[in-house]
Chains A and B, each alone.
Chain A
Amino acid sequence: MSAKINATLAKIPSVFTGTGLKRDSMVYWAVVAGLALLGGLIGDSYVHHILILVFIWCIVIASWDLILGYAGIFNYAQLVFFTFGAYGSAMLSIYAGLTPLLAIAAAAGIGAVIGLIVAVPSLRLKGEYVALFTFAVHLALPPLIQQGKAIGMGGNTGLLGIPWLNLFGYQVSSIDKLTWYWVALAFGAVCVYLIYFIVLRGRMGLAFIAMRDADTFAQAIGVNEYKYKMLAFVVSAMFTAVAGGLYAHYTSVVTPKVLGTEFFLMAMVMLAIGGMGRFPGAVLGVFIVVIGNELLRSFDDYRLLLLGIAVVLTVIFLPNGVAGLFAKRK
């Protein structure tokens, strides 16, 4: 039996078996350090702003990749987790006076709970039913936020005046783009590292891939499907909520717009263009799409249409995204 497992393991690229972790980590942190340096060299605060958004999106898309690309669960409620993180963190810091960093940490907890709540019904379903159920949750949330005006969710106008991040007594205003650049990079780099290098290369990641590629075999060798799928939801939602909290304190405004078509389409295009389940595909996708989206600003009327077309075309002509271009393995 163990010979068989070893034979199976041998076929899996080193990315999933933990070998080469040190080497890959060093490359990863070198790139992050390069980006940190780059931030200091860039003088244009608009470029900083775009890259801050890139780093925040990276957390969301890496988390989505974890559940959709690696665990193979058709979850489309990712922005629901983001919204709960953003609203949770904003409300805790506005109404309870929590310091923003603590509020973001609390948002992670809120995200984990929401992940659990969405997971329980989803785990009884299969395939496209999960997609539909989770997407229905996404569609149902904006009206609920409007009803939530009574408990201080701000209705349609959203929440304004969310406190700025406070780092060791220093207020980081949204105008201070350079500090924000480093903060967002630090958050993004740590979260993405935790997702791809710790969670997905560990036991959990192996279990995810086993369930995705051969669920009967995975169960036969003792992978607890229910437990690991539940964990996929919780971990993914937790990181996404952190991104939501970060976003709320950066823009200092949250409105139900975060659940609108534009954000959802952007997220889909990022994952489609980057390629699912193939690090660093999804992260590259974020860079390509956010920057591309800015370049398309002048075609504002057609932008959403073009994003939709981009989803369809990439899925048909580039089914594994840009990550598929590099990979030799089929």
Chain B
Amino acid sequence: MQILEILISGITQGAVYCVVAVGLSLVYGASRILNFAHGSLYSLGGFLAWYLVVGGPGLPLWLAFLLILPVLALTGVVIERAIIRPLRGSDNWKINTIMVTLGLAFIIENGLQLVFGPGTRTIPPFVEGSLSIGGITITWYKLSIFVISLALVGTLELFLSSTRYGQAVRAVSQDMQGANQVGINVNQVFSTTFALSVVLTGVAGILLAPVFLVSPLGGWAPFLKAFVIVVLGGLGSTKGAFVAAFILAVLEAFVIFYIGPSWAMPAWLLMLIIVLMVRPKGLFGVWEN
């Protein structure tokens, strides 16, 4: 019974990690940029929600969601336009994008710290109570974020596979020059993927705010976790990220239960090393490196 409970906790957690990971993978797939600010944008989502629901006007969470989504999308577009695009095609493009996204991560972190102070925050969950079946208990909140996360990832997959726009994103991922030649607006694809990516990670930050706490520096853990998931799943593969998120989150749940929560992060790093050593392509990787 206990094992089943750990398993369930891992699976619900995994769905949210998957949302963060898919966002990271989407941008990397389309523009080959590893966004080091992805975790800070996760914190940004959490803080915006905290402000609207708890700290400021006291809105209901669903309304806060509706207000935050366009802000996150706009943030993504602005980041892409203002600091990523000017670097494209420059001499040391790769190292420069690493530098600016790391710099951006520190800007967001310290900005959040300045505005909201260094402490941790939490948001009350939007549903209380828990469901118990046959001795296994799971809170309604965890169940609902599980469903929301699955819906998000599913919608994204549907968008990528069956809309014309999603096909453009996939075309750019596979061959940027080719996509450009057949008339796809590559810049627009970059902006869109960036916007979607920020929305995804920000939403994950909001969903997990009641479970974990939100803090200005708290984005590095989800970022590293997302990266491990993306590497295990195979870069650019939504399906891979989906499977990997569940495997790794369940492993994490077992580590936390049997060894202790302070070992969760070292365990993720160990998994990262093992994955990179054993299968750098990932489970479903189509990655050329």
Contact = CB atoms under 8 A, between A and B. Distances in A.
B95 interface: yes
Interface of B: 34, 36, 83, 86-87, 90-92, 94-96, 98-100, 102-107, 109-111, 114, 217, 220, 224, 227, 231, 262, 265-266, 269, 272-273, 276-277, 280, 289
B256 to A, nearest CB: 15
Contacts of B231: 129
A127 B94 contact: yes
Interface stretch (A189-197, A215-223, A298-306): A298-306
Given A136-B269, A276-B92, A311 B102 contact: yes
Contacts of A50: none
B266 A316 contact: no
B42 to A, nearest CB: 15
A316 B276 contact: no
Given A128-B34, A261-B109, A315-B96, A136 B104 contact: no
Contact of B104 (A68, A131, A272, A312): A312
A127 B98 CA distance: 10
B94 A133 contact: no
A124 B107 contact: no
Interface of A: 68, 72, 74, 76, 121, 124-129, 131-133, 135-137, 139-140, 143-144, 261, 265, 268, 272, 276, 301-302, 304-305, 307-312, 315-316, 319-320, 330
Contact of A308 (B106, B262, B277): B106
Given A128-B94, A143-B265, A319-B96, A121 B276 contact: yes
B98 A74 contact: yes
16 contacts: A74-B94, A74-B98, A124-B276, A124-B277, A124-B280, A128-B98, A133-B272, A139-B224, A140-B265, A140-B266, A143-B262, A261-B110, A302-B114, A308-B110, A311-B102, A311-B103
A124 B231 CA distance: 14
A265 B224 CA distance: 19
Given A305-B107, A309-B107, A316 B280 contact: no
A133 B135 CA distance: 41
A211 B106 CA distance: 31
A44 B92 CA distance: 41
